[in-house]
Chain A
Amino acid sequence: MAPLLQLSGVSKRYGGVQANAGIDLRVDAGTIHAILGENGAGKSTLMKLIYGVERPDEGQVFWQGQAVALSSPSDARRLGIGMVFQHFSLFETLSVVQNMALIVPGSKAELATRIRDLGAAFGLSVDPQAMVHSLSVGERQRVEIIRCLLLNPKLLILDEPTSVLPPQSVALLFDTLRALRAKGMAILFISHKLEEIRELCDCATILRQGRVTARLDPRQGTAHDLATLMIGRPMPPPVHPTPHGLGEERLALTALSFANEDPFGVSLKDVSLSVRGGEILGIAGISGNGQQELAALISGEIALKSSASSVTLMSHPVGDLGAAARRKRGLAFVPEDRLGRGAVPDMSLADNALLTAHSRGLVQNGFINRKAERAFTAECITRFDVRTAGPQAEAGSLSGGNLQKFIMGREMMLNPSVLLVAQPTWGVDIGAASEIRQRLVAMRNAGAAIVVISEEIDELFEICDRLQVLHKGHLSPSLDVAATSVEQIGTYMIGAAA
């Protein structure tokens, strides 16, 4: 029998970059097929070719044995291919159900019911009437998954689908995917979480630098083997921090409450935390539970005029101060959105270094010192292994992982007393992610106070000393990582803790 989907010798080039080179792939009905590769290995491009977003320069795509030329995602959907994107492809000014109605037939009321049913069945709770612009990245991804399932596709492509789910929901999602496989559906599963792939997938195709480097059964061999095949060298070991003496309190939130004016935003209620020098506090939780608001309240992008003492930095009340004033007191911040917030896409890396490093001798008497700016940028590029043409490259031209390394490097080079990092390894390849985690631990050992907001529980357990869980604007009590379990955190994440 002909395979459901077959690719032979497919290549795609963007300008000077060979994103895919001579890729052969075979996906059979009733299997879950993993696509593994680092960021920039060509996974996303390959998926775009299959989903009709892009057309291959060379090679042929066969669907149930027939050669097909997909020229748009609607062609792909007509054949029975559904895709859940890593980055949202939703209209922000429409509600969830309106977004669904664009490609799914049926009345809105009917759709809203199906959305609620699917949400309940798979632990993907989303208000069908909510406007997409008010949803967090995590919630948008849930909407994407539901939208695909509504169409009952023959082949479902999932691009890093589990990155936004709490552990309990991951298990539920896997049950769902297994049920779909049992019904004969084929699933292309992209993930960098190797344990997940070993647990779920029947076969795996490994990509490196746009080429297929291995095809294998992931259930044979260890996660370590898979990682080695994927990054082309042995994987760096995890870096559990060793306990050591703590310094003084650097950052504290005391009974902080924030009433969000945005009706779809999250209000924070009675949030308290305290971080001392030499420790990493992790804020776990699925995004959309107040993470954005919490980060902005700590960074000073949201200032509370009336309650200065609810936020203290180095024992000084700063709740009423803006971002610049808090930075002066020793705070540095790596935000979750890199383009447009952590960096200006249209500016060079050198000019992006200036964004927050201007106080480090890069500006003298109001004049920009271009030499110092270039030197700082070049040092950041070298020390943090940013792959780029140089300090003059536009920030927008860097891959997500490289830009994250640059922003992380820039903020770390400020030698902050307190470092706030939101989603440090989102969309970052496995090698770079482990490097970023190592550097965070190194900073902690050097005495910095660090707050990491992340959805990746494994990551938090690897590097944090203590964890607090954010759920619907409430922050759980502090839990010692050594004395807690993933399940316990997961219970807090879905608000089920007593």
Chain B
Amino acid sequence: MKITFERRAALSRPVLFAAPVIALSLAMLTSLILFAALGKPAGQALYSLLLEPFVGWYNISEVLLKMGPLMLIAQGLAIGFRANVFNIGAEGQLIIGALCASALPVYFPEGSSPLMLPAMIAMGALGGAAWAGIAAGLRVRFNANEILVTLMLTLIATQVLNYLLLGPWKDPHGFNFPQSVTFPDAALLPILLTGTRVNISLLAALLVSALAYVMMRHRFSGYQLLVGGLAPRAARYAGFTEARAVWVSLLLGGLMAGLAGACEVAGPLGQLQRSVSTGYGYSAIIVAYLGGLNPLGIVVSAFLMAALFIGGDNAMVSADLPVAAVFVFQGLLLVFYLASLTFIRHRVILNWTRRA
């Protein structure tokens, strides 16, 4: 039997929206079976995972809190992914961004200048961009694969974070916990929704999404990146340089991840701690693809992924699920999404060949 995939002609928008829906349904069904096999209350687990995040104002606000960094990072990554530049190390760029932003309040713990916060944000964003820039430079100069380099730089970033928190930056009054001093008020982002932890970085993330949309749809620079991703030889023919695409993709991705890192320490954390690295940088890869690498789609998928994070926390408490179960669910979601997208874009032709 021969199985061939034939690309379908034009696809309507509603059909493309079907992929995430199908993926979510299949991931739910599979995890239901998995949870049941683990001997956990499957119904309760799914309720905690999928519905509880939307029950009550507190839960919803926590979803919004997590949505911000996911959206920020995913927007930056998606630009690179569409240009065939695969930045897998957003987690490391987020850590470096958080470090750079933390330097100010760590060295000026009593600081009260209104310039402190903007400077932190700028340092965080630039730090993330510089970290990703290492990978860009190595790729352009030595053709070093950016997937490996960004991934390895993440490991280095984690060690830098550990070193600072266990050594020079450790809070002297912190009972030896690996964390920095708590930041002064001047180093904290204003709260957006009173009574919650949601700060104005959510607005920044939405603004970045709008800018990403404009760039990819209406800017010539975005178009050049798309051409480089879809047809590298056409880009060379037109004179769009590959080096520029690599630099732009990685710097933008690093900038966004660094910004997200700065917003974490200046937002919900209020200090630098190891838990700044919770895997946003990796989850954002899933967010970017679930959103179809489309700036608007990413807003939706970031919201869904954030809800999954909150739901996962809930499920660990209420249904006694292991933490790995949440990652399994995320993984299922991505795999089913890519699979359903393939089946939506292609027609499968089964050819039962009879041997003469």
Contact = CB atoms under 8 A, between A and B. Distances in A.
A368 B218 contact: yes
Interface stretch (A351-359, A458-466, A469-477): A351-359
Contacts of B354: 71
A341 B351 contact: no
A184 B351 CA distance: 35
Contacts of B236: 301, 323, 341
Given A341-B233, A363-B220, A366-B220, A355 B238 contact: yes
B25 interface: no
A351 to B, nearest CB: 7
Interface in B286-336: none
Interface in B329-356: 351, 353-354, 356
B231 A323 contact: no
Chain A contact residues: helix, strand, loop or mixed: mixed
Interface residues of A, number: 36
Contacts of A72: 353
A340 B234 contact: yes
Interface in A343-364: 343-347, 351, 354-356, 358, 363
A342 B234 contact: yes
A339 B220 CA distance: 21
Contact of B219 (A322, A324, A368): A368
A391 interface: no
Interface residues of B, number: 23
B350 to A, nearest CB: 13
Contacts of B219: 366-368
A299 B237 contact: yes
B230 to A, nearest CB: 5
A367 B234 contact: no
A327 B9 CA distance: 34
Contacts of A337: 233
Contact of A397 (B9, B230, B241, B351): B9
A323 B220 contact: no
B239 A324 contact: yes
A354 B227 CA distance: 10
Given A71-B353, A78-B356, A368-B220, A347 B239 contact: no
A210 interface: no
A83 B216 CA distance: 45
B351 A71 contact: yes
A300 interface: yes
Contacts of B221: 366
A299 B237 CA distance: 8
Contact of B234 (A78, A299, A341): A341
Nearest to B240: A324
Nearest to A352: B234
A475 B147 CA distance: 44
B234 A343 contact: yes
A323 B238 contact: yes
B177 interface: no
B108 interface: no
Given A72-B353, A340-B231, A322 B239 contact: yes
Contacts of B231: 340-341, 344-346
B223 interface: yes
Contacts of B230: 344-347
B202 to A, nearest CB: 27
A299 B239 CA distance: 9
Contacts of A255: none
B238 A324 contact: yes
A75 interface: yes
A333 interface: yes
B237 A301 contact: yes
A347 B234 CA distance: 11
B258 to A, nearest CB: 24
Contacts of A322: 239, 241
Contacts of B233: 337, 340-341
Contacts of B218: 367-368
A333 B354 CA distance: 49
Nearest to A337: B233
Contacts of A375: none
A294 to B, nearest CB: 15
A56 interface: no
Interface in A95-150: none
Interface string A307-336: 000000000000000111111000001010
A241 to B, nearest CB: 28
A15 interface: yes
Contacts of B356: 75, 78
Nearest to A342: B237
A299 B233 CA distance: 13
A22 B285 CA distance: 52
Interface in B187-243: 218-221, 223, 226-227, 230-231, 233-234, 236-241
Nearest to A16: B9
A15 B9 contact: yes
A346 B7 CA distance: 12
B239 A367 contact: no
A362 to B, nearest CB: 9
Contacts of B234: 340-344, 355
B62 to A, nearest CB: 38
Nearest to B8: A15
**Most chain A beta-carbon neighbours within 10 Å: one of B10, B230, B237, B240:** B237
A440 to B, nearest CB: 20
Nearest to B234: A344
A335 B237 contact: yes
Nearest to B354: A71
B223 A323 contact: no
B223 to A, nearest CB: 6
A475 B233 CA distance: 26
Given A71-B351, A341-B233, A345-B231, A367 B220 contact: yes
Interface of A: 15, 71-72, 75, 78, 299-301, 322-327, 333, 335, 337, 340-347, 351, 354-356, 358, 363, 366-368, 394, 397
Closest 8 CB pairs of A and B: A324-B239, A323-B239, A344-B231, A341-B233, A363-B220, A355-B238, A340-B231, A344-B234
30 contacts: A15-B9, A71-B354, A72-B353, A78-B356, A301-B236, A322-B241, A323-B236, A323-B238, A324-B238, A333-B237, A335-B237, A337-B233, A341-B231, A341-B233, A341-B236, A344-B230, A344-B234, A345-B230, A346-B231, A347-B227, A347-B230, A355-B237, A355-B238, A356-B238, A363-B220, A366-B221, A367-B218, A368-B218, A368-B219, A368-B223
Given A71-B353, A324-B238, A356-B238, 5 more contacts: A301-B237, A325-B239, A340-B233, A351-B223, A366-B220
Interface of B: 9-10, 218-221, 223, 226-227, 230-231, 233-234, 236-241, 351, 353-354, 356
